[in-house]
Structure 1
Amino acid sequence: MTLMLAAVYADGWDDAVVNPLTRTAAEARDAAGEPYSVVLLRDGRRHAVIDISWVDGYCHVSRYDEADRQISRHELRRTPDGDLFLRRARTWVGPPDVGVHEFPHVAARHSTTYRLAGGRTDIDEPQGDRGSRSDTSSAEFPPRLPVPAFGRWRDLLALVGDGDCEIVEADGHSLPVRSATVPPWQPPRPLTPDDVEELFRAGTERPIDDRRMRLSTHSAGTLRLPSGRLVATDPGWLKYDNVPFTVTVPPGDYPVTISLATFVDEPDHRRVAAARLDITDRPVVGWELALRDGQEPLDLGAGEFFGFGVDAGLACFADAGTYDRIPDLKSHLDAMIEPRYRVIGDGELVAWSSGWGDGAYPTWIGRDADGDVVCFVADMLLFYEGEDEEGEDEED
């Protein structure tokens, strides 16, 4: 039996159709790759919502039952060769007499995550929040399909469980409608570097709220990297959090530079803006987020990043094998009141005060025109103005 659906276009859904769009406007966004949403109706009720942003290689499909309870959520991402693959799927199956708010907690849950290169992880929670959980892994490749043309979402809906369907334009509807200045969803655009190189231009001034800070640069000495595997972390947690970045460099000794920001109207108030480990002196042509083993950029949402956590107000660069070479590390750290940065040991570790204090901070890798590593920059996010940023440390 063919499933009959009617399409309504908007900026998104948030208990209502938010900022409705005409078909022409939605189709123009689709052609430009810009974000928009399709609310699909079945017998006048919400049946599915498709959030699309082709410029981000992203599509998200949520489906609902007759009681308006979410029963599935599928995220698709673009592959390097241009089509889509199923990144993550989650389904809920529960009793018919449970309300919308209680349903996701008591329904049986199943989630599947795929890796494009091969690999599938399944999590089963047959009693929702109330019972056990089982995890299984296999070498299965993800389902794939071509990017659908505007309005031709049948294959997409079939992939998420709707089988054969026909989609027409909605001839009016009774769903609630509201206006909003900010769309109810954001494409998964992770945090990007905010002019990292400017942080190391001495004399540069940057605004912060209604004040200004002036940048200066300072040599923090030389870091020894005998393994070529760099760790950025809270030095107080180095014993437990010494997982290096996946990108390595030739073993050697490399200079560290500190970017210090000083309030123009309060010269005694200084904060470390960033720390840079220079591998070469070639110009940087591109930046990327430094990752640890197992971290996948596709898992990051809007404004998010993988970073290292700080809960003692200090950050550091170190070699992966450093901890065992500094038996008195705690005493060195206890002595770090001033200056705001310090070489510890014989260059085994370079530590600095961490921006505004505790939190999570990203490290960026700068590469040259040949793709070789030029530097690592631990960004203390002093001037980042986004409200949705979220750091994820190794435990996440």
Structure 2
Amino acid sequence: MAWVGDARLAAGPEATWYLETAFTPGAHLGTVYDDPTTPVVVTGVEEVTSMRVPSGRLVVDAPWDDDDAWRYERGLLTRPPRELAVCIPPGVYRVEIAWTAGPYEFFGERFDGVECAATRLCIGDGPVVGWEMGLGVDEDIDRLQPGEEPRFGADANVGCFADAGAWTTLSAPFRTYVDGSPVPRDTEQLPDGCERVRDESQRADLVTFTAESGGVVWLGRTKTGDVAAIVVTSGMAGAKA
């Protein structure tokens, strides 16, 4: 029997088009804002790294925010991370970023307009037949308002994928503050400003990525309902179809 999702979570036509186009090199992802003659082009899909998710439970959230870091440093309770309600098979998965370029001019200076269009965690090889929003474990579908897109916030424009079972250890380097000021953190530097933290005791990882002000999490489902991809978009701004 083919998978049929909940219509309240299903991606609309615009989001579906974006999700299916963002990871197609050479495709036009709309045009530059205020310049309909210049296309935004998908320049490539880069594999940043792979990450381990032994628990099958996934956090997609900011690795920290200022208030949480302050409370963490003082031994106070912090808010729980945004763990997805859906579970995935324990395993090792690729993290990929789709890049776009849309050249523009600002005050007489030319810029290449390179941006992250979306970030993807590749779960399976099956073709995606439908997209739906990924709810958090504490989010109730019955409370969604029409048109509402649940998302995580990221004041520092950084999001992450992380194994939920090892969250406390994996997020600790991002919560080190002294007298309210952040100190250098012990993380592995990856391409394009991404970072990775490993917890070898649980063989689990956290990988950061660019997420301007946060992002919406999308689940790509196969015809059997399995999750083939988890994609984060940051508002799908900067381009128009």
What TM-score, normalized by structure 1, do the two folds share?
0.44
Structure possessing the higher relative contact order (Cα contacts under 8 Å, 6 or more residues apart): 2
Equivalent residue in structure 1 for 2:161, among 283, 297, 317: 317
- Pick from 222, 234, 240: which aligns with 1:380? 234
Helix, strand or coil at the partner of 1:197: helix
Aligned to 1:19: none
Residue in structure 2 matching 1:225, options 35, 53, 66: 53
Q: What pairs with 1:116-155 in structure 2 (closer than 5 Å)?
A: none
CA contact (8 A) 2:56 2:88 kept: yes
Contact kept, 8 Å, 1:233 with 1:241, in 2: the verdict is no
Amino acid at match of 1:254: Y
Give the stretch that moved more between structures: 240-249 or 275-284: 240-249
Task: Identify the match of residue 247 of structure 1 among 68, 72, 86.
Answer: 86
Cα distance, 1:337–1:305 mapped onto 2, change above 3 Å: same
**Residues 203-214 of structure 1: matches in 2 within 5 Å?**
203-206=26-29, 207-209=31-33, 210=35, 211-214=38-41
Q: Give secondary structure in 2 for the equivalent of 1:362.
A: strand
Cα distance in 1 between the residues matched to 2:194 and 2:152: 18
User: 1:342 and 2:166 equivalent?
Assistant: no
Q: How many pairs does the alignment contain?
A: 197
Displacement after TM superposition at 1:353 (Å)? 1.6
Change (3 A) 1:279 1:218: same
Q: Partners of 2:125 and 2:55 in 1: how far apart?
A: 21
CA 234–227 in structure 1, closer or farther in 2 if over 3 Å, else same: same
Structure 1 counterpart of 2:219 = 365
Separation (CA, whole Å) in 1 of partners of 2:9 and 2:51:
33
AA aligned to 2:208 is A
RMSD of the TM alignment (CA)? Answer: 3.2
What SS does structure 2 have at the residue aligned with 1:305? coil
Q: How far apart are the structure 1 equivalents of 2:231 and 2:88?
A: 14
One-letter code of the match for 1:328? P
**Percent identity of equivalent pairs:** 28
Specify the code of the residue in structure 1 equivalent to 2:49: G
Distance 1:370 1:208, change over 3 A: same
- Which consecutive segments of 4 or more residues in structure 1 shift more than 6 A? 188-191, 333-338
Q: Is the 8 A contact 2:122 2:228 kept in 1?
A: yes
Contact 1:363 1:379 (C-alpha < 8 Å) held by counterparts: yes
Q: Give the partner amino acid of 1:351.
A: T
Q: 2:22 aligns to what SS in structure 1?
A: helix
- Whole-Å separation in 2 of the counterparts to 1:322 and 1:364: 23
**C-alpha distance after superposition, 1:266-290 (max 9, x if no partner):** 5643221111111111100111110
Matched, 1:328 2:181: no
Aligned equivalents of 2:217, 2:54: Cα separation in 1? 20
> What is the Cα deviation at residue 190 of structure 1?
8.1
Structure 1 residue 328, shift from structure 2 partner: 2.7
- Cα 1:332–1:285 change in 2 (3 A) is farther
**Match for 1:361: what amino acid?**
G
Counterpart in 1 of 2:130?
286
Q: Are the equivalent residues in 2 in contact too, given 1:220–1:350 (CA < 8 A)? A: no
Which secondary structure does the structure 1 equivalent of 2:168 belong to?
helix
Q: Is the 8 Å Cα contact of residues 46 and 98 (structure 2) preserved in structure 1? A: yes
Work out whether 1:273 is the aligned partner of 2:109.
no
Q: What residue is the counterpart of 1:104 in the other structure? A: none
Structure 1 residues 297 and 322, CA, compared in 2 at 3 Å: closer, same or farther?
A: same
Task: Note the alpha carbon deviations across 1:122-164, whole angstroms, 9 max, x for none.
Answer: xxxxxxxxxxxxxxxxxxxxxxxxxxxxxxxxxxxxxxxxxxx
Query: Residues 272 and 340 of structure 1 are in contact (CA less than 8 Å); yes or no, is this contact kept in structure 2?
Result: no
Displacement of 1:218 in angstroms is: 0.6
Q: Which residue of 1 aligns with 2:210?
A: 353
Secondary structure of 1:312's match? Answer: coil
User: CA shift at 1:302, angstroms?
Assistant: 4.0
Equivalent pair of 2:50/2:92 in contact (CA under 8 Å): yes
Of the candidates 75, 84, 98, which is equivalent to residue 259 of structure 1?
98
Tell me if the contact between 1:280 and 1:375 (Cα under 8 Å) persists in the aligned partners.
yes
Q: Which runs of 5+ in 2 are unaligned?
A: 1-5, 69-77, 105-109, 176-183
Amino acid at match of 1:203: G
Which segments of 5 or more consecutive residues in structure 1 lack a partner in the other structure? 1-79, 81-187, 387-396
